[in-house]
Structure formats: structure tokens, C-alpha cells
Homo-oligomer: A and B are copies of this chain.
Amino acid sequence: MAVYTHVDPADLAALVARYDIGSVLSCKGIAEGVENSNFLLETTAGRFILTLYEKRVSAGDLPFFVDLLDHLANSGSPVPAMIRDRSGVAVQQISGRSACIIQFLSGISLTHPNAAQCEAAGAALGAMHRSLAGYDGARDNSMGHRHWRGVADATGNLDAVRPGLQAIVDAELAFVEAHWPADLPAHVIHADLFPDNVLMLGDRVTGLIDFYFAATDFRAYDLVITHAAWTFSADGSTCDPALAGALMRGYAREITLTEAERAALPTLARGAALRFLLTRAHDWVHTPADALVTRKDPSPFLARLLRYRAADAASLFAAA
């Protein structure tokens, strides 16, 4: 949850006046998005999301996100388009922050997705990948596998987070460096498609949101991130085969993985679990106890990592 920056109503009215979206009727800070301040903005023309970009999203990256969402919206993915003002400008300034007014999408983020919903999420991810395969934008993945050792080092002694964690992470970093695939189909991926970032109505996906980790990487890595995010018990110890099979079946409706991708899935999934384990451990150690952001427990991603390391891990990726 996050609303960090106050927006003065007069400044808001001036911002909205740059657009063809009517005048302000309501603007309420919403508890959505970890990195930014988000507001649900209602005008005489409809509803929008106003996002103010806080420190973790670089202003220099915003044109990339605007272009990416334009591309996806134009190709039919249910992503929120960035609205442009009458001069064609999408990235504005308000309250000392870069800001965008973004299309509002209906739908609710699920807490406990069922198999039909996992299948729909898999299909939406696959359809987005079909569109992204033809997208010529690119962005270095600052959360990609080459950066994980640096995140671990910056966290300090991982045994302070959980006894024994340092040795597990050291072994996994060595494994990743030795076994990460050299070459698989790659393009811009979402890289953070947790249930929070998918809006649904019933079993239908109505929105894919929060692209601020989007970067160039293997599409199969995006798939295993989604697998790790959607198909496990809350404590990360158990992968539900019905949910996992449904997710893979939905994805397979849109994308046929190569043999090399299939073979790499357990390795990529260990990497995905390691990535969220490390960034959560880092934030756990470095987030002040009085911060507005709720720190996320890293343990459930250690549990996923151990599950993906098991001898039968490949079976978790069968399309049921």
C-alpha cells in the first residue's frame, strides 16, 4: 500500500485541465502499488488512476513504460493506457513528482485464485508474450540474475534474517551462475505478475497492471515468476498441482515453449524464487520499522526455492 505524496486540489485541477478528460469530481488516495503514490481520480468524463512516481521508479524510465503500455494496449492486451494531454504528453509533473494519468480498469485482485482463474492468468500472460515478441523496446533487467549476488551482498549476513540462509543462498548463487541458460526466447517481460497485479472479474482477466519491473529477459522466466506467485500455498511450502497445471495449460494455449525452455523451467524457477527471497530479505533488513511500506516476509520464497530444488520439480510444470 502506498500514498506518500499529498496532492493539492488546486494543483490537481490545473493538471487535469491539460487533458480532455473533463473536470475533477473526486480524488482518493488508494492503497495500491508499493513503489508509487496512487489516486483514484474521478472526472466528469470517467475514472482514471493518477500515479505519482516516488524514488524507486526512475523518471528516465517513464517514456519506456508509456511506450510499452501503448504497444500492449494497441495489440489488445488488457493493460491500462497512459492518457496523453492535449499536447500529446503523458508524463507530467505535480507535487514535485513525475506523474501520469492512467486508464482505469475494472476488476479485483484475487487472494485465493482457483484453477480456472490460474488458467486465465496463464493465458493472459501468454497472449501478452505474443504481443511482446514483436515489440522492439528494451530495458536492462536491474532485478535480473546477474544482479542477485549484488543484492545478497548488500543485505549483509543472511543468517540474521534466518539461521542457515546464507549457506543456502551461496549455493543457489553458484548454481545460477553455473546453470543459467545462455540463450532462450527473450523480449520485454512483466517480471512481477503476482495476483495483486492481475485484475479479474469472475474467471476473466480484466487488467494486467503495475509494469514498473518490466524489462528484457527470457519469456520462460516470466512464466516461472507467475508460477511461483500463483500456484503455492501462502507459506510457500506446497505447489498445488491443479493450479500449476491450469496455469501451464492456459499459457500453452498462447505460447508453445521450445524444448530448451521446457528443460530450463526448474532452473529458472529456482532463480525466480531466489530473486524474491533476496529482494524481500534485503528490504526486510533495510526497511525502517516505522516505514509506511509493509515489509514482506522472505520465508515463503525460501520455501518455494526448496520445492523447486526437489528432484521432481519438473513435474510442477506439466500442463494438466
Q: Nearest B residue to A31 by beta-carbon distance?
A: B29
CB-contacts of A194-252 with B (<8 A): 199, 201
B29 and A1 within 8 A (CB): yes
22 of the cross-chain contacts (CB-CB < 8 Å) are A1-B3, A1-B31, A9-B108, A9-B110, A12-B108, A24-B201, A25-B107, A25-B201, A26-B104, A26-B106, A26-B107, A26-B199, A28-B32, A28-B40, A29-B30, A29-B31, A30-B40, A31-B31, A40-B40, A289-B289, A289-B290, A290-B291
B-facing mask of A76-119, CB < 8 A → 1, else 0? 00000000000000000000000000001011111110000000
Please measure, in the bound complex, the distance between the C-alpha atom of A163 and the C-alpha atom of B40, giving whole angstroms: 42
Please measure, in the bound complex, the distance between the C-alpha atom of A29 and the C-alpha atom of B28, giving whole angstroms: 10
CB-contacts of A3-54 with B (<8 A): 3, 6, 8-10, 12, 24-32, 40, 42
Q: Nearest B residue to A3 by beta-carbon distance?
A: B31
In the complex, chain B residues whose CB is within 8 Å of the CB of A10: 111-112
Given known pairs A1-B3, A9-B110, A289-B290, the reply for A28 and B25 (CB within 8 Å) is: no
Please measure, in the bound complex, the distance between the C-alpha atom of A67 and the C-alpha atom of B133, giving whole angstroms: 59
Q: Does A257 contact B (CB under 8 A)?
A: no
Max chain B C-beta neighbours (<10 A), residue from A28, A201, A290, A292: A28
B108 and A26 within 8 A (CB): yes
Q: Nearest B residue to A199 by beta-carbon distance?
A: B26
Please measure, in the bound complex, the distance between the C-alpha atom of A201 and the C-alpha atom of B25, giving whole angstroms: 7
A279 to B: closest C-beta gap in Å: 21
A6 and B289 within 8 A (CB): no
Given contact pairs A25-B106, A26-B199, A30-B31, enumerate 11 new A-B contacts (beta carbons under 8 Å). A1-B29, A6-B111, A8-B111, A9-B108, A9-B110, A12-B108, A25-B107, A26-B107, A26-B108, A29-B30, A289-B289
In the complex, chain B residues whose CB is within 8 Å of the CB of A111: 6, 8-10
Given known pairs A106-B42, A290-B289, the reply for A32 and B31 (CB within 8 Å) is: no
A277 to B: closest C-beta gap in Å: 23
B112 and A8 within 8 A (CB): yes
In the complex, chain B residues whose CB is within 8 Å of the CB of A28: 30-32, 40
In the complex, chain B residues whose CB is within 8 Å of the CB of A108: 9, 12, 24, 26-27
B32 and A29 within 8 A (CB): yes
Please measure, in the bound complex, the distance between the C-alpha atom of A110 and the C-alpha atom of B290, giving whole angstroms: 27
In the complex, chain B residues whose CB is within 8 Å of the CB of A106: 25-26, 42
Q: Nearest B residue to A11 by beta-carbon distance?
A: B111
Please measure, in the bound complex, the distance between the C-alpha atom of A31 and the C-alpha atom of B26, giving whole angstroms: 13
In the complex, chain B residues whose CB is within 8 Å of the CB of A290: 289-291
